[in-house]
Structure 1
Amino acid sequence: MAQDYYATLGVGRDATADELKKAYRKLARQLHPDVNSAEDASDRFKEVTVAYEVLSDPQKRSTYDRGGDPLSAHGSGGFGGQGFNFDDIMDAFFGQNASRGPRPRTQRGQDALLRLNVDLAEAAFGVTHEIKVDTAVTCTTCQGSGAANGSQPVTCRTCHGHGDVQHVQRSLLGDIRTSRPCPTCHGFGTVIPDPCPECAGEGRVRSRRSISVTIPAGVDQGTRIQLSGEGEVGPGGGPAGDLYLEINVARHAVFQRKGDQLFCQITVPMTAAALGTHLDLPTLEADLPEPPEGSTTVELDVAPGTQSGDTLTIKGHGVPRLRGSGRGDLKVQVIVETPARLDDEQRELLVQLARLRDEERPEALIANNHKGVFGKIKDAFK
């Protein structure tokens, strides 16, 4: 024989498959042209590759041991007409074969998203809701195993428990082996011969359940609340994902919210705006089923001479801060109402007021916001 394959790999003639692979990995790391710059490294690398190709194949090894030519008998391409296995080269450099191994049947479940409608007072002060959730839960018949009572998964006969199968394709470089998930067990390495009749082997079933959810004070439109472990149970009875509640705040008839501040409008008579007044203004707490005592109204002081469009501020009557202490403010915009219908006595009184204020024929005050630079300087000197 032109070449002693056992001597090339440095093993005995009774070497096992694992011993052959270990020897080849070691030599391939040392001799590969990418890591060894010696002139004969490439030729020696081809020699050990051919030696391993022959000895790792039981049929070729048998032919070689009987004194025959294993390469001519099984012909393959590659270095100088000899084939080699790309998986074994990958083994040599990465310390593992191309097989991914069986994947577990038990996997984490997906997260779930649920939109929850609340009113403004509930979002501001917090609330506890009982909600219905439709998700996958662990099958109570098989306890998540997927197998019927008295049975259990067995090793797949197609992949022998590896979870994937090898496919060999010939090329100019030799035999190229690729791994694909086993079509019989779908990559699990086991099959369930007698699936659970309740879940059909999934280990989980869909169910509607009720959970109690506490919405913290200060949430706003679009706020998401994470409930750990309340999402979908995973395949094979795996751990559940998380449930996310997205808050949708209903529009309020009186108040508008911007951050932690509340806004509203009130309309007061012309006389009240001119003379000043005190009002009892309803608060957002008035919407609560059981509001704290004395919290349903707040006194608003409208100062004499208040103009239409003026905004008054009531400190600490806005929305509680979600991440922090205290509350925002309540902003109240005043709209002054001018009487549209007057009787004779009311008209006479207003005429007298106009005469006293010399406003019987008032001059129109035209606001000009587009004055030039020189016009503004002239006004400043006036």
Structure 2
Amino acid sequence: MAQDYYDLLGVSRDASDADIKKAYRKLARQYHPDVNDSPDAADTFKDIGTAYEVLSDPQKRATYDRGGNPMGGGGFGGAGAQGFSFDDIMDAFFGGNGGGGRGPRPRRQRGQDALVRLTVDLADAAFGLTHELKVDTAVTCPVCEGHGSADGREPVTCGTCHGQGAVQHVQRSMLGDIRTSRPCPTCQGYGTVIPDPCAECGGDGRVRSRRTISVKIPAGVDHGTRVQLSGEGEVGPGGGPAGDLYVELAVRQHEFFTRERDHLYCQVSVPMTAAALGAQLDIPTLEADLEDAADDVETSVVLDVPPGTQSGETVTIKGFGVPRLRGGGRGDLHVQVVVETPEKLDDEQRELLARLAELRGEQRPAGRMGSGRHGVFERLREAFR
């Protein structure tokens, strides 16, 4: 025997299958001709492929340990000694499990998750709602009840792959015979076939159907929030369990309110006299948008505008924002006051304002200079940082 396979892979004679596979992966990456341009790389790659083929097969390894010929009639020097699985090479380079040992895939599998999008109003997102939603997903076939067979018989072993779910292809190359494993074209990898498939679902065990489900949207959700409904997604092949349904929410833009996290922002315009003297205004709350609001729900709130309020200043009303999605309480309502200057004055009004300016010494105001970089919205943003 020209070379010891254990020495070639650098493992002991009592090495486990995992140790042998790990050693082969390392050497295959090192000596593959595509990455190693040394003159003896191709020969070394063939040798370690042969060593791995022998030591990874329990029967061949036992024959080799007894001093026999693990390649049978082909001998160590024939083409059989150079035969190795292409899946093993892919396994060495990409760390997969290869294709030869997976076996047939089960007919009954879990279904995929599904995603639908739902657009709601700001008030519904804030306070929650229950919505009837139409979804189009795969459901269990009502004719065969997911079995896939028209006559109720169990699937039989595939005659092409003999239940393996895959077929082997051998291709000659400069490195020897390369074996590749592919899903069986007859059974599509299941290892079994259904002699008399269900006419409704074609043997898949599921059909597509539109159904209506009730979705409960919790209070406090925001734009982009996803609500998970377990078991409401696609039913799996073979009548397998359904995946989950995710409802992604989009919130419509409100006419007055703008939301930022759990807080609401809006503007209210007041006359110059109200800003100077102070005033109380009734402004609607977000609850006013609810069609079925309870009698004890406050659909308006009193806004206290302090005397001397300047345009752009903000008045905060505690507890009238958006309910928190996780945890109790609500955010606040921030109202920005915009002071309106009268554009048209009659003679009496003009005379009164002129008298006021005279009393305040403001006939020729000096004015106050500023950089101009801090506008109304910038001041509002800085106030809540």
Q: What is the match of residue 360 of structure 1?
A: 363
How many residues are matched?
311
Structure 1: segments with no counterpart, 5+ residues: 4-27, 55-70, 91-95, 371-382
Instruction: State the distance in 2 between where 1:344 and 1:174 align.
Output: 107
Instruction: State the distance in 1 between where 2:341 and 2:176 align.
Output: 96
Q: What is the match of residue 224 of structure 1?
A: 226
Q: What is the match of residue 378 of structure 2?
A: none
The answer as to whether partners of 2:150 and 2:197 remain within 8 angstroms in 1 is yes
Which of 321, 326, 331 in structure 1 is aligned with 2:324? 321
Cα deviation 1:156-184 (Å, max 9, x = unaligned):
11111111122334567765543222111
Cα drift, residue 356 of structure 1:
1.2
- TM-aligned CA distance change 1:326 to 1:29, over 3 Å: farther
Greater Rg, structure 1 or structure 2? Answer: 1
TM-score normalised according to structure 1 size: 0.74
Cα drift, residue 107 of structure 1:
1.2
Instruction: State the distance in 2 between where 1:286 and 1:344 align.
Output: 41
* Aligned residue runs from structure 1 range 279-358, under 5 A: 279-292=281-294, 293-358=296-361
Q: What is the match of residue 83 of structure 1?
A: 80
Instruction: State the distance in 2 between where 1:173 and 1:352 align.
Output: 105
Cα drift, residue 248 of structure 1:
0.2
Instruction: State the distance in 2 between where 1:148 and 1:251 align.
Output: 52
* Aligned residue runs from structure 1 range 115-264, under 5 A: 115-170=117-172, 175-264=177-266
Cα drift, residue 210 of structure 1:
0.6
Q: What is the match of residue 44 of structure 2?
A: none
Q: Higher mean Cα deviation, 236-245 or 164-173?
A: 164-173
- TM-aligned CA distance change 1:335 to 1:163, over 3 Å: same
SS at match of 1:220: coil
Instruction: State the distance in 1 between where 2:110 and 2:371 align.
Output: 68
TM-score normalised according to structure 2 size: 0.74
AA at the equivalent of 1:149: D
Cα drift, residue 33 of structure 1:
5.7
The answer as to whether partners of 1:31 and 1:45 remain within 8 angstroms in 2 is no
AA at the equivalent of 2:306: A
Identity of aligned residues (%): 65
Cα deviation 1:267-289 (Å, max 9, x = unaligned):
11111111111111110001112
* Aligned residue runs from structure 1 range 55-74, under 5 A: 71=73
Instruction: State the distance in 2 between where 1:276 and 1:248 align.
Output: 39
AA at the equivalent of 1:80: G
Instruction: State the distance in 2 between where 1:162 and 1:323 align.
Output: 51
- TM-aligned CA distance change 1:46 to 1:306, over 3 Å: closer
SS at match of 2:355: helix
The answer as to whether partners of 2:148 and 2:197 remain within 8 angstroms in 1 is yes
Instruction: State the distance in 2 between where 1:270 and 1:250 align.
Output: 33
Cα drift, residue 354 of structure 1:
1.3
Instruction: State the distance in 2 between where 1:351 and 1:86 align.
Output: 102
The alignment yields a C-alpha RMSD, in angstroms, of: 2.9
The answer as to whether partners of 1:231 and 1:240 remain within 8 angstroms in 2 is yes
The answer as to whether partners of 1:103 and 1:189 remain within 8 angstroms in 2 is yes
Q: What is the match of residue 104 of structure 2?
A: 102
- TM-aligned CA distance change 1:153 to 1:317, over 3 Å: same
Q: What is the match of residue 23 of structure 1?
A: none
Structure 2: segments with no counterpart, 5+ residues: 14-50, 52-59, 89-97, 374-385
Cα deviation 1:321-340 (Å, max 9, x = unaligned):
11111111100000111111
AA at the equivalent of 2:71: E
Cα drift, residue 111 of structure 1:
1.0
SS at match of 2:354: helix
Instruction: State the distance in 2 between where 1:368 and 1:159 align.
Output: 81
Instruction: State the distance in 2 between where 1:262 and 1:342 align.
Output: 36
Cα drift, residue 306 of structure 1:
0.7
Cα drift, residue 229 of structure 1:
0.9
* Aligned residue runs from structure 1 range 4-83, under 5 A: 34-36=10-12, 48=64, 51-54=69-72, 71=73, 76=74, 79-81=76-78, 83=80
SS at match of 1:51: coil
Instruction: State the distance in 2 between where 1:364 and 1:34 align.
Output: 89
- TM-aligned CA distance change 1:342 to 1:97, over 3 Å: closer
Instruction: State the distance in 2 between where 1:119 and 1:145 align.
Output: 43
Q: Higher mean Cα deviation, 178-187 or 271-280?
A: 178-187
- TM-aligned CA distance change 1:362 to 1:305, over 3 Å: same
- TM-aligned CA distance change 1:252 to 1:171, over 3 Å: closer
Instruction: State the distance in 2 between where 1:50 and 1:172 align.
Output: 27
AA at the equivalent of 1:83: G
Instruction: State the distance in 1 between where 2:77 and 2:155 align.
Output: 47
